[in-house]
């Protein structure tokens, strides 16, 4: 028994010496005498070990985490950690968007009217044309009937949540108050712009719109040369109409200005939903309406807040207005197809 154990130990050590000797000489398929008591063997072709060039220090923690547990404790979180260690952090960039052809309107009526004469109206008072009820659809009605499904779903969810909180009667009262506040806010702004005087701080403190008026003070100081206030416009070629809040210069640029009230912050133009299309529609209507002796190519959406925080003015330059004009033409075509 002792002799057998001694021979086994000697055989193991001889095998180890054999591997070291072969690695040192780098010889392949060379006959040699075995040091064991067994028959002589010939060395085989050395296999290339891909793990010899691995940075063992870099993956030491990973190996330890995998081999230190007897049971499989891998979770989605640990798999992500392993991937991060092996391949680096994941690329969070979105995949490149597929080339989707932008739909173009069939009726390419230009935003600017090339046939319209521009007259110098001088210092005439702002236009205020009354809205005549007729069979021509309004901009608001067209946008409501062609609202994208996702936007309509968002609006419906908001409505259901408000009804759940306030009840049907409470929600009806809430929307009624919003409408009255909006009208009062527009009326007060009209008076301010006509008099070209900024109300004193604290004026109308008990009014329901005092917060909104405080909110727009940072915008009113940049508005001058008012040309229209609460005035009706009609596109004579495309046959739609609307009521423009204001046409005036904002920081030297003549704009269609749309005043909006909100209890929620809207710091970006995208957060105003269809309002840019509404402004573009009004600009096109003014430029094709014989009642206006000027043309406009810029827009401004001013979002005023009930808590008095500074309003967000979203300026739309000529290029941006042209983009939204094309989107408006598509919505107008959709409305006409439905009706």
165 is catalytic: no
Among residues 227, 260, 266, 306, the one annotated as catalytic is 260
User: Which residue among 47, 120, 201, 258 is the active-site one?
Assistant: 258
Which member of 128, 157, 159, 245 is catalytic? 245
SS3 annotation, the chain: CHHHHHHHHHHHHHHHHHHHHHHHHCCCCCECCCCCCCCCCECCCCCCCCCCCCCCCCCHHHHHHHHCCCCCCCCHHHHHHHHHHHHCCCCCCCCCCCCCCCCCCCCCCCCCCCCCCCCCCCCCCCECCCCCCCCCCEHHHHHHHCCCHHHHHHHHHHHHHHHHHHHHHHHHHHHHHHHHHHHHHHHHHHHHHHHCCCCCCCCCCCCCCHHHHHHCHHHHCCEEEEEEEEEEEEECCCCEEEEEEEEEEECCEEEEEEEEEECCCCCCCHHHCCHHHHHHHHHHHHHCCCCCCCCCCEEEEEEEECCCCCCEEEEECHHHHHHHHHHHHHHHHHHHHHC
Asked if 245 is an active-site residue, the reply is yes
Per the annotation, the verdict on 159 as an active-site residue is: no
Q: Could you list the active site residues?
A: 245, 258, 260
């Amino acid at each position: 028994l002792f002799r057998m154990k001694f021979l086994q130990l000697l055989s193991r050590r001889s095998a180890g010496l054999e591997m070291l000797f072969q690695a040192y000489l780098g010889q392949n398929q060379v006959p040699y005498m075995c040091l064991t008591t067994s028959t002589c063997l010939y060395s085989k072709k050395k296999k290339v070990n891909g793990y010899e060039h691995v940075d063992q220090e870099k993956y030491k923690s990973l190996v330890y985490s995998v081999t230190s547990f007897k049971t499989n404790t891998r979770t989605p979180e640990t798999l992500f950690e392993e991937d991060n260690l092996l391949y680096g952090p994941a690329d969070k960039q979105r995949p490149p968007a597929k080339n989707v052809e932008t739909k173009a309107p069939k009726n390419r009526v230009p935003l600017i009217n090339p046939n319209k004469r521009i007259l110098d109206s001088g210092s005439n008072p702002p236009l205020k044309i009354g809205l005549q009820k007729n069979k021509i659809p309004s901009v608001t009605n067209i946008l409501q009937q062609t609202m994208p499904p996702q936007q309509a779903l968002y609006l419906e969810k908001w409505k259901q949540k408000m009804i759940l909180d306030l009840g049907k009667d409470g929600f009806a009262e809430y929307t009624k108050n919003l409408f009255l506040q909006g009208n009062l806010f527009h009326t007060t702004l009209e008076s301010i712009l006509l008099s070209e005087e900024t109300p004193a701080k604290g004026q109308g403190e008990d009014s329901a719109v005092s917060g909104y008026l405080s909110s727009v003070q940072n915008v009113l100081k940049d508005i001058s040369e008012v040309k229209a206030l609460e005035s009706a416009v009609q596109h004579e070629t495309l046959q739609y109409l609307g009521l423009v809040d204001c046409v005036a210069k904002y920081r030297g640029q003549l704009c269609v200005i749309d005043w909006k009230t909100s209890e929620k912050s809207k710091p970006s133009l995208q957060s105003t939903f269809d309002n840019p299309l509404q402004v573009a529609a009004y600009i096109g209507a003014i430029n094709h309406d014989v009642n206006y002796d000027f043309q406009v190519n810029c827009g401004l959406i001013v979002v005023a807040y009930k808590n008095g925080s500074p309003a967000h003015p979203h300026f739309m330059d000529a290029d941006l207005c042209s983009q939204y004009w094309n989107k408006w033409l598509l919505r107008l075509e959709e409305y006409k197809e439905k009706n």
